[in-house]
């Protein structure tokens, strides 16, 4: 292993605790920084990056969202409970950067309103933080909160205009040890929007802008769809204009993931609708369609998490969560089209496993895993359930923090392989293979697998498959190189050589 890789591993161990902050990277339904005119009418909202819900006063039936003068969405109202009162509001598409106008008709004030006259109301939505900052470090001072993510999502596009997209990526890399930078999902959409507007979608596929492994591409696609309202043209880009710096096959896989994600996050379509749209792209993208399905369920998982409260100084609206659609339970995947089951099981099992389960005694965690094994995976006739169960097993039995996915202690190996047992004598190949891959997920160094592979031969009817391990490493190797800290280490090593 190279010295750079060793350093990278040490960095990962040092910051693994940050994964516990996942919820603080995702915004919730809120109204904040309300500005009013002299008559007390609200003129603008500042909202955090990501999924949001905004209450709308008055007798309103339809709301339009526009960006730079172009209508990008017509939004139906959603009735919710705020305290004990029912009110109307809009469940916005995921917004990561920029200023948007939200338009509707509302009863006029005074006598005109009495006679039913209505006037058009225009509010400005600004994605950002509590104040407009001019240095990245000021955003970092907010930490891994909605404020920090909103701040970066607003600031980075402005920085891109000033110094260019590549130089902005370099600035991000310099500060990559910071928790807010390292756990990037909350602000990355703002950065992707900035690159998109600066260089256009095709040029934004260049690896000069890639950061946060492959997730930049997912958000780039979601922003393109948000503005252009079209999934099909992006699929055509996926095929024609490959992501520079990534193998062509993997470029199509990750672009397809972004398309599925965008169907939920940008277009707000129902999951079943987007899954069928993905399936219609099969003739164009082949097996990569499976990543489109995964993008759908990934977006559903993120949206479900966004409806949880978390530490923030923003002022949330207290909304009855039962009025929102939460992530489905894993048992709902049994009746799904076989095409969609793999993604369904993986992300519903992830989404329905929380820190509450991780905090339980180890025997209770094992019981939790085995219940899904017995009631779902041993009942369903496909291998899809076993894949999701393997991830949850590695997570719940792994070393802290929650969802670190870094290390499975040897004392839990027995329980892990039993989780993969189809009966007393046989073990599911997909489940064992996935846990094997999870063992190399952080470093992609298969030398670390030798003891685990010996354990499998002694204790199961399965074994490590060299071709499967090599294929996994080949597929994700490029993405690891574009982790912000990996880029930083490579840059530092190059300067040392010089």
Query: pLDDT tens-digit profile of 8-51?
Result: 444 444 333 333 233 333 444 444 344 555 555 557 778 888 88
pLDDT at 362 over 60: yes
Report if residue 89 sits inside a domain: yes
pLDDT at 266 over 80: yes
Helix (H) or strand (E) holding 203, with range, is helix 201-204
**Can you give the pLDDT at residue 25?**
37
Report if residue 292 sits inside a domain: no
Report if residue 478 sits inside a domain: no
Q: How many CB atoms lie within 10 A of CB 1?
A: 11
Dihedral, 293, 298, 303, 306 alpha carbons, nearest 10? 180
pLDDT at 143 over 60: yes
User: Could you tell me which residues are beta bridge partners of residue 389?
Assistant: none
Give the integer Cα–Cα distance in Å for 432 and 387: 9
Select the more confidently predicted residue: 382 or 406.
Answer: 382
Give the integer Cα–Cα distance in Å for 427 and 417: 8
Q: At what angle do helices 484-497 and 466-481 cross, to 10 degrees?
A: 80
Give the integer Cα–Cα distance in Å for 234 and 246: 18
User: Could you tell me which residues are beta bridge partners of residue 91?
Assistant: 53
User: Is beta strand 85-91 parallel, antiparallel or unpaired with respect to 53-56?
Assistant: antiparallel
Q: How many CB atoms lie within 10 A of CB 308?
A: 12
**Can you give the pLDDT at residue 491?**
59
Among candidates 473, 442, 494, which has minimal Cα distance to 11?
A: 442
Select the more confidently predicted residue: 450 or 328.
Answer: 450
Tokens standing for 459? 């204790």
Mean pLDDT confidence for 237-265: 89
Q: How many domains does the chain have?
A: 1
Q: Which of 213-227, 231-245, 322-336 has the lowest mean pLDDT?
A: 322-336
Domain that holds residue 121: 44-127
Select the more confidently predicted residue: 110 or 305.
Answer: 305
Q: Which of 13-22, 192-201, 297-306, 388-397 has the lowest mean pLDDT?
A: 13-22
Q: What size, in residues, is the chain?
A: 498
**Can you give the pLDDT at residue 324?**
56
**Can you give the pLDDT at residue 165?**
95
Tens of pLDDT along 423-464? 988 999 999 999 999 998 766 788 879 999 999 999 999 999
- Mean per-residue pLDDT of the chain: 83
What is the percent of the chain where pLDDT is above 90? 51
**φ/ψ of residue 73, rounded to 5:** -165, 140
User: Could you tell me which residues are beta bridge partners of residue 76?
Assistant: 62
Give the integer Cα–Cα distance in Å for 440 and 122: 52
Mean pLDDT confidence for 128-139: 88
Helix (H) or strand (E) holding 78, with range, is strand 78-82
Long-range contacts of 489-494 (CB under 8 A, 24+ apart): 489/4, 489/7, 489/8, 489/11, 490/4, 491/173, 493/3, 493/4
pLDDT at 308 over 70: no
**Rounded alpha-carbon distances, angstroms, from residue 45 to 32, 101, 124, 187, 204:** 6, 10, 6, 19, 30
User: Is beta strand 35-36 parallel, antiparallel or unpaired with respect to 99-107?
Assistant: unpaired
Instruction: Report the predicted TM-score, pTM, of the whole model to 2 decimal places.
Output: 0.86
Report if residue 134 sits inside a domain: no
Q: Which of 218-222, 254-258, 324-328, 443-447 has the lowest mean pLDDT?
A: 324-328
**Can you give the pLDDT at residue 131?**
80
Report if residue 372 sits inside a domain: no
Cα 404 off chain centre by = 16
**Can you give the pLDDT at residue 24?**
36
Give the integer Cα–Cα distance in Å for 234 and 222: 10
Report if residue 453 sits inside a domain: no
Helix (H/G/I), strand (E/B), else coil: 300: helix
| 344 and 366 Cβ atoms separated by less than 8 Å | no
**Can you give the pLDDT at residue 354?**
85
**Can you give the pLDDT at residue 3?**
43
Among candidates 331, 277, 274, 265, which has minimal Cα distance to 303?
A: 265
Report if residue 103 sits inside a domain: yes
Residue 67's domain is classified under what CATH number? 2.60.40.1220
Tens of pLDDT along 274-287? 999 999 999 999 99
Helix (H/G/I), strand (E/B), else coil: 27: coil
Q: At what angle do helices 165-174 and 188-199 cross, to 10 degrees?
A: 160
**Can you give the pLDDT at residue 40?**
52
Give the integer Cα–Cα distance in Å for 287 and 277: 15
Among candidates 498, 420, 493, 434, which has minimal Cα distance to 469?
A: 434
pLDDT at 408 over 60: yes
**pLDDT band at 256, cuts 50/70/90?**
very high
Select the more confidently predicted residue: 320 or 418.
Answer: 418
Tens of pLDDT along 67-79? 999 999 999 887 7
Name the strands in the sheet holding 78-82, side by side, starting at the edge strand that comes first in the sequence. 53-56, 85-91, 78-82
pLDDT at 392 over 90: yes
Tens of pLDDT along 223-242? 999 999 999 999 998 888 88
Report if residue 86 sits inside a domain: yes
């Amino acid at each position: 292993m190279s010295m750079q890789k060793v350093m990278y591993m040490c960095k990962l161990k040092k910051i693994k605790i940050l994964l516990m902050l996942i919820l603080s990277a995702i915004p919730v339904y809120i109204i904040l920084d309300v500005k009013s005119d002299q008559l007390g009418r609200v003129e603008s909202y500042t909202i955090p990056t990501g999924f949001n819900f905004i209450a709308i006063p008055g007798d309103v039936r339809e709301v339009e969202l526009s960006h730079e003068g172009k209508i990008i969405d017509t939004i139906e109202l959603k009735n919710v409970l705020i305290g004990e009162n029912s009110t109307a509001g809009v469940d916005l598409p995921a917004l990561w950067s920029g200023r948007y106008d939200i338009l509707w008709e509302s009863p006029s004030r005074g006598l005109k309103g009495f006679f039913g006259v209505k006037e058009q109301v225009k509010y400005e939505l600004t994605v950002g933080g509590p104040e407009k900052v001019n240095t990245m470090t000021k955003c970092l001072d907010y930490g891994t909160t909605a404020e920090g993510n909103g701040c970066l999502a607003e600031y980075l596009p402005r920085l891109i205009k000033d110094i260019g997209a590549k130089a902005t990526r370099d600035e991000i890399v310099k500060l990559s040890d910071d928790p807010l930078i390292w756990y990037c999902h909350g602000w990355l959409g703002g950065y992707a929007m900035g690159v998109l507007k600066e260089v256009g979608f095709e040029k934004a596929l260049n690896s000069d802008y890639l950061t946060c492994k492959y997730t930049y591409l997912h958000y780039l696609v979601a922003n393109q769809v948000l503005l252009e309202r079209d999934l099909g043209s992006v699929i055509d880009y996926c095929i024609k204009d490959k992501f520079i710096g990534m193998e062509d096959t993997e470029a199509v896989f990750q672009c397809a993931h972004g398309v599925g994600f965008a169907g939920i996050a940008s277009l707000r379509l129902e999951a079943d609708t987007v899954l069928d749209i993905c399936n219609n792209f099969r003739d164009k993208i082949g097996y990569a369609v499976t990543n489109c399905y995964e993008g759908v369920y990934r977006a559903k998982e993120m949206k479900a998490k966004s409806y949880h409260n978390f530490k923030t100084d923003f002022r949330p609206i207290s909304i009855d969560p039962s009025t929102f659609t939460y992530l489905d339970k894993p048992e709902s995947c049994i009746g799904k089209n076989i095409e969609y089951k793999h993604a369904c099981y993986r992300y519903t099992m992830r989404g329905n496993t929380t820190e509450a389960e991780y905090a339980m005694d180890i025997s209770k965690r094992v019981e939790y895993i085995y219940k899904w094994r017995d009631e779902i995976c041993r009942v369903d006739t496909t291998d899809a359930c076993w894949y999701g169960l393997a991830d949850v097993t590695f997570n719940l039995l792994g070393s802290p923090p929650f969802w670190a996915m870094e290390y499975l202690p040897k004392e839990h190996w027995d329980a892990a392989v039993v989780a993969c047992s189809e009966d007393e004598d046989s073990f599911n190949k997909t489940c064992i293979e996935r846990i094997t891959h999870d063992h190399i997920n952080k470093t992609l160094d298969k030398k670390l697998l030798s003891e685990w592979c010996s354990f499998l031969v002694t204790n199961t009817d399965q074994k490590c498959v060299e071709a499967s391990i090599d294929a996994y490493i080949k597929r994700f190797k490029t993405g690891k190189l574009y982790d912000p800290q990996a880029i930083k280490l490579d840059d530092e090593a190059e300067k040392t050589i010089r």
